[in-house]
């Protein structure tokens, strides 16, 4: 039972004949659009901004930025000038060179994007950090990456343990009344005198671009390393999947602290020269609809959690805004419920197109294209020339309707190139026959559509954010009253999953609601708000293996009233 594409007809980059393109497409076709196909040297920021500033798109709006205090617009020429200035601040005041890690820890603002692009122009590897991170999360990432420079705001500076980070040479502060002493550099003061001319550092397509930290089921967050070559896939999916054409106004709601916010909130739309809307401030349904109306957004990329929250705000609200500009809606991050797709059809008269990918894949991989028939609940089909399959643990392909590992054949352009400082972890993603194993389980139907089933590991997806249970457990046991903690994702109608912690208390502590609240606050302040358990349950003991590993599988079974399965490794 498919839904036909009605409302997207006539858009430019429809992938009319999927099967033919799938077989015949060659990435070198996409590369022809870039100047580096001639020179052999690249810089993503040049292709995203300067190339357009040097064309008849010079005066086209590249960025509409708004939050509760600001409302600004910047052309491609402006973006070129400001990112050059920011690049010069990093080069002159701070001495940033090719390969240096420059981390950016600040809320969305135009300056964030000037710095991001300016650092890339110098050949630096950028690491955007989510503004909600607390001290421990910031420290882990700066420590592991050995970041040389951090760009942050006066407000967030208190969460940066500068004295514990020997590799950190400079902290560039975006704010007012900044005192330049020690490591501190005043961003605005330096911008005033910085030149608009910057010598771009031309790099190899395999040179570093971005480090995005993400969570697994064990250990600390790991640095997923991407290179400039990823832009080939960002560019091509901006055409095939985002379906961006010249007069589109595009809005991706993700924060650049997550991979969607950098690759599809900045790089992909700019690589094709589209007008990009970036909205700061917190989520509010009125605000979001108003943003679409104000800018005449035509293409909108968001997440199931957000759509569910909008759905919860009521259909009446939708009719208060003029949303007729919308032509194409996409979703990523978690399973997109068929119910949400039906709601989208009802209130926007548009289909919501699900897309599947991960931090590690670096770009969209399995998608519902505008031209394609949609099966609500399915993630769609692989993008042309990328091979996806369902395989067993040995890498043998499974027939249709068999559930197994969702895997991708090594070699797509935007694939991560390393896990920072962790070769072993990187290798562990791949089977001997070159399948990259995603950690998701899924099946494929006879038409080649993929259907998401769940995570193979214990990773939690809450409100579209990926949280490793181990990280939360480690924080929990730092709390004096907590002896042991086990953390699981509990199904939730709005957030997909919420974080639930099972806790065994130390001797002498009494279970109480106040204690739960204190524990929650401790994680919130020590790690990040989105990592704090929404539910806490105290238990005398937690189920463990004989080697002492907490059995999250058993906790989950308890929670969901499911059979606990094999308990042979559990301690008595």
Give the β-pairing of 299-302 and 249-252.
parallel
Record the tokens describing residue 447, joined without a space.
């038409």
- Cα gap 464→252, rounded to integer Å: 14
Considering the rule CB under 6 A, would residue 133 count as an interface residue with ligand WT7?
no
Report, in Å, the least distance between residue 257 CB and ligand WT7. 11
Report, in Å, the least distance between residue 361 CB and ligand WT7. 7
Bridge partners for 460 per DSSP: 467
- Cα gap 175→187, rounded to integer Å: 7
Out of 227, 259, 374, 388, the only residue in the binding site for ligand WT7 (CB under 6 A) is 259
CA dist 517 to 137, 523, 534, 536, 569, Å? 21, 10, 10, 9, 33
Q: By C-beta, is 244 or 459 nearer to ligand WT7?
A: 459
**Sequential DSSP letters for 173-232:** EESSS----TTEEEHHHHHHH--S------B-TTSEEEEEEE--SSSS-EEEEEEGGGHH
Q: By C-beta, is 248 or 334 nearer to ligand WT7?
A: 334
Give the count of residues interacting with ligand WT7 (CB under 6 A). Answer: 21
Report, in Å, the least distance between residue 258 CB and ligand WT7. 6
Out of 267, 451, 452, 479, the only residue in the binding site for ligand WT7 (CB under 6 A) is 452
Instruction: Say how many C-beta atoms besides its own lie within 10 A of residue 319's C-beta.
Output: 11
Report, in Å, the least distance between residue 274 CB and ligand WT7. 19
Residues between 269 and 328 that touch ligand WT7 (CB under 6 A): none
- Cα gap 433→410, rounded to integer Å: 9
Residues between 157 and 216 that touch ligand WT7 (CB under 6 A): 214
Report, in Å, the least distance between residue 173 CB and ligand WT7. 29
User: Please, which residues have CB within 8 angstroms of residue 209's CB and are 6 or more apart in sequence?
Assistant: 44, 120, 125, 126, 226, 227, 228, 230
Give the β-pairing of 299-302 and 275-279.
unpaired
Residues between 208 and 227 that touch ligand WT7 (CB under 6 A): 214
Q: By C-beta, is 258 or 288 nearer to ligand WT7?
A: 258
What mask of x and - would describe binding to ligand WT7 in positions 380 to 419, judged by CB under 6 A?
----------------------------------------
- Cα gap 46→62, rounded to integer Å: 14
Considering the rule CB under 6 A, would residue 153 count as an interface residue with ligand WT7?
no
Report, in Å, the least distance between residue 304 CB and ligand WT7. 8
For 407, counting Cβ atoms within 10 Å of its Cβ (0-12 exposed, 13-18 middle, 19+ buried), the class is: buried
**Region label for 448, one of left (φ > 0), alpha (ψ between -120 and 50) or beta (otherwise):** left
Out of 350, 438, 473, 495, the only residue in the binding site for ligand WT7 (CB under 6 A) is 438
Q: By C-beta, is 350 or 406 nearer to ligand WT7?
A: 406
Q: Which of 271, 210, 310, 321 is nearest to 62 (CA)?
A: 271
- Sign of the CA dihedral 190, 192, 194, 197? positive
Report, in Å, the least distance between residue 470 CB and ligand WT7. 16
Record the tokens describing residue 373, joined without a space.
């028939």
Q: By C-beta, is 94 or 419 nearer to ligand WT7?
A: 419
Out of 108, 228, 444, 466, the only residue in the binding site for ligand WT7 (CB under 6 A) is 466
Report, in Å, the least distance between residue 344 CB and ligand WT7. 15
Report, in Å, the least distance between residue 441 CB and ligand WT7. 9
Report, in Å, the least distance between residue 139 CB and ligand WT7. 21
Considering the rule CB under 6 A, would residue 455 count as an interface residue with ligand WT7?
yes
Q: By C-beta, is 168 or 363 nearer to ligand WT7?
A: 363
Binding span for ligand WT7 by CB under 6 A among 36-44, 125-133, 432-440, 537-545 = 432-440
Out of 175, 377, 395, 439, the only residue in the binding site for ligand WT7 (CB under 6 A) is 439
Residues between 342 and 381 that touch ligand WT7 (CB under 6 A): 354-359, 379
Q: By C-beta, is 73 or 453 nearer to ligand WT7?
A: 453
Q: By C-beta, is 111 or 131 nearer to ligand WT7?
A: 131
Q: Which of 354, 542, 321 is nearest to 452 (CA)?
A: 354
Q: Is the Cβ–Cβ distance between 354 and 336 less than 8 Å?
A: yes
Q: By C-beta, is 100 or 255 nearer to ligand WT7?
A: 255
Q: Is the Cβ–Cβ distance between 149 and 90 less than 8 Å?
A: yes
Strand order of the β-sheet with 450-455 is 388-391, 404-409, 435-444, 450-455
Binding site for ligand WT7 (CB under 6 A): 214, 259-260, 332-335, 354-359, 379, 438-440, 452, 455, 461, 466
């Amino acid at each position: 039972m498919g839904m036909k594409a009605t409302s997207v007809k006539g858009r430019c980059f429809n992938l009319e004949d999927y099967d033919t393109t799938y077989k015949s497409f060659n990435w070198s076709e996409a590369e022809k659009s870039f100047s580096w196909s001639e020179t052999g040297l690249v810089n993503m920021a040049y292709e995203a901004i300067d190339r357009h500033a040097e064309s008849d798109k010079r005066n086209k709006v590249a960025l509409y930025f708004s939050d509760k205090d600001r409302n600004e617009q910047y052309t491609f020429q402006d973006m070129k000038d400001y990112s050059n200035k920011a690049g010069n601040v990093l080069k002159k005041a701070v001495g940033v060179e090719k390969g240096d890690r420059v981390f950016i820890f600040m809320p969305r603002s135009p300056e964030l994007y000037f710095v991001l692009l300016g650092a890339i122009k110098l050949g630096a590897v950028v690491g955007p950090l989510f503004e909600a991170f607390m001290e421990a999360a910031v420290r882990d990432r700066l420590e592991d990456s050995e970041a040389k420079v951090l760009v942050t705001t006066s407000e967030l500076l208190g969460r940066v343990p500068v004295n514990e980070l020997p590799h950190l040479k400079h902290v560039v502060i975006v704010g007012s009344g900044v005192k330049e002493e020690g490591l501190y550099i005043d961003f605005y003061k330096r911008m005033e005198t910085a030149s608009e001319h910057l010598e771009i550092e031309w790099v190899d397509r395999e040179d570093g671009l971005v480090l995005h930290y993400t969570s697994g089921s064990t250990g600390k967050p790991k640095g997923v390393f991407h290179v400039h070559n990823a832009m080939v896939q960002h560019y091509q999916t901006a055409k095939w999947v985002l379906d961006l054409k010249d007069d589109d106004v595009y809005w991706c709601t993700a924060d650049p602290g997550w991979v969607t916010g950098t690759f599809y909130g900045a790089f992909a739309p700019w690589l094709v020269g589209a007008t990009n809307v970036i909205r700061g401030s917190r989520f509010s349904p009125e605000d979001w609809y108003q943003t679409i109306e104000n800018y005449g957004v035509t293409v909108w990329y968001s997440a199931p959690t957000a759509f569910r929250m909008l759905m919860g705000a009521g259909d009446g609200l939708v009719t208060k805004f003029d949303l007729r500009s919308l032509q194409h809606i996409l979703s990523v991050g978690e399973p997109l419920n068929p119910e949400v797709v039906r709601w989208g059809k009802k209130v926007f008269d548009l289909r919501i197109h699900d897309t599947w990918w991960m931090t590690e894949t670096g770009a969209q991989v399995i998608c519902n294209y505008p031209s394609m028939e949609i099966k609500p609940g399915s993630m769609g089909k692989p993008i042309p020339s990328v091979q996806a399959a369902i395989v067993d643990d040995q890498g043998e392909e499974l027939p249709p309707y068999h559930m197994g590992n969702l895997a991708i054949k090594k070699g797509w352009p935007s694939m991560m190139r390393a896990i920072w400082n962790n070769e072993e972890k990187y290798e562990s993603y791949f089977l001997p026959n070159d399948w990259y194993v995603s950690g998701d389980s899924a099946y494929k139907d006879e038409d080649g559509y993929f259907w998401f089933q769940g995570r193979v590991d214990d990773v939690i997806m809450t409100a579209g954010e990926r949280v490793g249970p181990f990280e939360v457990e480690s924080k929990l046991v730092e709390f004096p009253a907590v002896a042991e903690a086990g953390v699981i994702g509990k199904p939730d109608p709005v957030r997909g999953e919420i974080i639930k912690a099972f806790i065994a208390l130390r001797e002498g502590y009494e279970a109480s609601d106040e204690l739960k609240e204190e524990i929650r606050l401790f994680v919130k302040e020590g790690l990040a708000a989105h990592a704090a358990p929404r539910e806490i349950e105290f238990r005398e003991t937690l189920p463990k293996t004989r080697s002492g590993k907490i059995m999250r599988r058993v906790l989950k079974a308890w929670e969901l009233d499911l059979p606990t399965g094999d308990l042979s490794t559990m301690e008595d």
